[in-house]
Amino acid sequence: MKQLTIFLVILFNSSLFGQDIKWTTVTKNEYNPVQLISRGVVTLDNGDKTPEADLYIDFPAERIYYRNPLNNAIFSIYKNDFKSISLNEYEEGKNVDDGAFYGDVGEEIAASLRKKLYEEADLNFITITSVKKEGFFTRNQPKFEVNNGELDVSNKSNVSAKLIGINLTRIEYLDEDGDLWDRGNYGTLLGGGGISTNSDDKEKRKEARKSARILNIKFGNKFFLNTRDLYNYFYEEYEKNFYKSLEDFKNDFIGMSLKDLLKEWGPNSQLFELDSNTFEYVWVFDRKVTEKESSTTGTMNSIKKALSKSTTQTTGSISTSYGINTNASKYNLGGYGSIMNSYTKVNKESFLNYYSTNVTAQYSQTQTTFSSQTRGTDIRVDDSKKIGVIVNKDLIVTDVLEKNYFPTPYYGVEIRFVDE
């Protein structure tokens, strides 16, 4: 009698057990462009109505660009040029007068136009458990209850969102309603519409949004208590991927001819003969950095970081909220230039492509806090980057010396998925 052996093959769906982090970036234009596009009709100041056409709306500038459907001519329409506007993608073409369009309704309209951007944005998907909306601006406090022997919230709401950035205390995301958020466990809406910054009512509405605190965050099949908890998960993967990718970086260049490397990296800066058969070629990317930190206390403390991508001199400031301390000039990186450009051709899937973009992005942030003292420091430092290769007598790369080229990850760095 033949023995029948049955092999049971179980196909596991990875989504049941977790969700891989997408270490990629999108441009700001892909989720929050300066100009939002919609089809619509403009009622001019004299009462005439335009034919339905493509409208490019710049809320901050309070300007609409109208493209004629027949001859493609484009006109700039300012706030005082029209009485009202109707957009196909906002409440089925409801007419909105000019004051409301750049006022109370502006954030709602901007959000409605960003809905399709949410669907298209290739970002990490998360679910935020918060409280239900009551109107566009109002979110009440959670109503806790015991339901079937378990703690619950009767007015909870699960919001689907795409993650834009996260640090230890804050999370930035675009939700399925097209609403942009930059928040901690209590949230504050990012400016995305055309609301006047001088409106007391606007500030009250934004304050009302802060009451919608985060109850938990879900990524894949994992629940996280708060922003810090989710950040820890992402940072652990961030650090692990860095060290693995660094080994890949070295191995991907080993075996390459020096001639091909020179074509990609440009002329080397230094040459050392280690022995008659071994040579070290070094590339030095000079950069002198002036680090500036200033604190104005008593009323407000505003710290601005800015970085020029010049290869000769850059100026930057340091903000501890992004995990960059005042002694850490090594984290002021600027661009990676020819090295990373060449490596993208070798291994375009490498985590280092994301890593270099993310570290550079740390120097385009602004933070404002309250404190009670004034002080300032300027530190002139040499932030030059070096990378070297060891080659044999046949000028073939046998090792890569990258220690002074990539900084090691540091806990507290903001992890962003936007290339700005």
pLDDT, tens digit (0-9, with 9 covering 90-100), for 81-134: 999 999 998 998 999 999 899 987 888 899 999 998 999 999 999 999 887 766
180-184, 360-364, 406-410: range with lowest mean pLDDT: 360-364
- 353 and 399 share one domain: yes
**pLDDT (0 to 100) of residue 101:** 93
2: helix, strand or coil: coil
Q: 190 and 107 share a domain?
A: no
Structural domain includes residue 407? yes
**Burial class of residue 334 in the structure, from the number of CB atoms within 10 Å of its CB (0-12 exposed, 13-18 middle, 19+ buried):** buried
What's the pLDDT score for residue 291? 57
Task: Look at residue 211 and tell me if it is in a domain.
Answer: yes
Q: Are residues 297 and 209 in the same domain?
A: no
What element of type H or E holds 39? Answer: strand 36-44
Pairing of the two strands 375-382 and 366-369: unpaired
Assign residue 66 the CATH number of its domain. 2.30.30
269 and 365 part of one domain: yes
Name the phi and psi angles at 234, rounded to 5. -65, -40
| pLDDT at site 364 | 46
Q: Are residues 354 and 249 in the same domain?
A: yes
In the chain, the number of structural domains is: 3
Model confidence pLDDT, tens digit, residues 326-343: 333 333 344 366 788 888
395 φ/ψ sector (left φ>0, alpha ψ -120 to 50, else beta): left
Tell me which residue range forms the domain holding 151.
115-231
289 and 157 in a common domain:
no
| Domain-embedded: residue 101 | yes
pLDDT value for 288: 61
In this prediction, residue 125 carries a pLDDT of: 97
- Give me the percent of the chain exceeding a pLDDT of 70: 70
- Residue 397 pLDDT > 90: yes
**Position 374 pLDDT exceeds 70:** no
Asked if 203 and 146 count as a contact pair (C-beta separation under 8 A), the reply is no
pLDDT for residue 157: 84
Last residue of a domain, one of 185, 207, 231: 231
**Domain C-terminal end among 209, 231, 253:** 231
CB 418 within 8 A of CB 361: yes
- In sequence order, the β-bridge partners of residue 401 are 388
Name the more confident of 381 and 317: 381
- Asked if 120 contacts 132 with a C-beta cutoff of 8 angstroms, the reply is no
Q: What is the pTM assigned to this prediction?
A: 0.75
211-220, 297-306, 310-319, 357-366 — which one is most confidently predicted on average? 211-220
Short-list 419, 34, 358, CA closest to 191? 34
Cα angle vertex 325, ends 402, 216, to 5°? 100
**Is position 24 within any domain?**
no
| pLDDT, position 286 | 75
For residues 277 and 376, state if they share a domain. Answer: yes
Answer yes or no: is 12 within a domain.
no
pLDDT, mean of residues 376-391: 77
